Amino acid sequence: MTAPALPFSSTVVDSILFRDAFGTQKMRDIFSDRALIQRYIDAEVALAKAQARVGVIPAEAAEVIARESKIERIDFDHMRHETDIVGYPILPLVHQLVEMCGEAGRYVHWGATTQDIMDTAVALQVRDALDSVAGDIRALRGILRDLAKKHRDTPMAGRTHLQQALPVTFGYKVAIWLAMFDRHQQRLAELRPRVALVEFAGAAGTLASIGEPGFAVQKAMAEELGLGVPATTWHVARDGFAEAVNLLALVTGSLGKIALDIMIMASTEFAEVYEPFVKGRGASSTMPQKRNPISSELMLAASKAVRQHAGLMVDAMVQDFERATGPWHAEWIAIPESFILSSGALHQARFALGGLIVDEARMKHNLGITKGLIVAEAVMMGMAPHIGRQQAHDVVYDACRTVNEQGGTLAEALAALPAVTEHFDRAAIDRLTDPANYLGLAPAMVDRALALSAKVDA
């Protein structure tokens, strides 16, 4: 017996192999063909209801349009075939809606143009998608808050230019991640009213086909759909959608930064953190010992892809006159893929950070591999009040050279210098060279970040 054919896809966002690595079912559902066509129908029905409220079309006609315009009655194959010919899906849809609605069909799409319906439908999709992203970010921030609080005082090496610089705490590092996503949460809230806007303006955007009641119809249609009313027609003013995708680029860019930190810290030489253990996850086909940071790799890949789409959306803003000749079409590619990839990256982040394994002992070990040199600044600043800042620098510099050339620890090298022992006994030297005693305001910064984060949702 022949097995039934599997549905195959040619892109990762719909692939039976990769779709859950790069996206989520919830976001795919928002941007699915069926959901998009339903949003087209929602826009057409809302338009009819709005026009009936204002008195542009008979109320009875609007009732029939609302009752009879059902996606279950759509012939999708015929709609696809006609869309291939027309180039846009709205006229093929209207043909079927008119037939469904009988005599009332004459009032379907009254005074509208194709882009009115398509833009309004995408505004509905983007509104729902932003709400989903906002929920994911809120959940991720909760994970980051818990992680920052838990590791507020966990010392580790801070690194600049991939070199050990000064001691920090792991909670401090996580607090920096948290603050980024607090800002993204705020950006999402600020963005939503600018992008969740109805579009109904007619052929050249002037509402000439409706005339005097045009603004009233536009407002009523927006109310039917739960959208805002724009100041002007936005057929060729695409800054709202461009801002939405560029915000996703910021979100995934932040995820990419976290992913890169995790990947480096999970490397064999660092071994400070690991993604959650799931048997077989991150396994190599040839090296049984491998435990690759898969979620971080996926987050990083998504950040690169969404960044490219952000540029495409900015490019698509450059549109000619009152109806563009083609840049609009680029949005059909960029918007769904950006949201799906972003939701996938956020899902991976919640998994990786929610179960992140932090090896505090290894962090402490790594903090000591420079044999105290990481706190050379602390020693210099500790000695400066006694012998002057520049002389303290020179003394510590000599001690560091001794460690580098002859071995031993910074404490041992300092204890051999009369200029040091004149002012500090061995216990004091040991305190000066203990990295855990030179964390600056890192723990306090965690406290401040946590307090500010709590206010974001207040």
> Any idea which residues carry the catalytic annotation?
161, 284
User: CB of 233 within 8 A of CB of 226?
Assistant: no
Q: In angstroms, rounded to a whole number, what is the distance separating the alpha carbons of residues 81 and 415? A: 85
Residue 14: phi and psi, rounded to 5, are -120, 0
Q: In angstroms, rounded to a whole number, what is the distance separating the alpha carbons of residues 19 and 344? A: 9
Beta-bridge partners for 169 = 155
187 Cβ neighbours under 8 A, 6+ residues apart: 247, 250
The amino acid that residue 308 corresponds to is: Q
What dihedral do alpha carbons 69, 75, 78, 81 form, nearest 10°? 80
Q: In angstroms, rounded to a whole number, what is the distance separating the alpha carbons of residues 170 and 178? A: 12
Tokens 């542009």 correspond to what residue? 56
> Which pair of structure tokens corresponds to residue 166?
């000064």
What dihedral do alpha carbons 222, 227, 228, 233 form, nearest 10°? -70
CA distances from 272 to 261, 335, 366, 443 (A): 11, 37, 9, 19
CA distances from 166 to 99, 327, 380, 439 (A): 73, 49, 13, 8
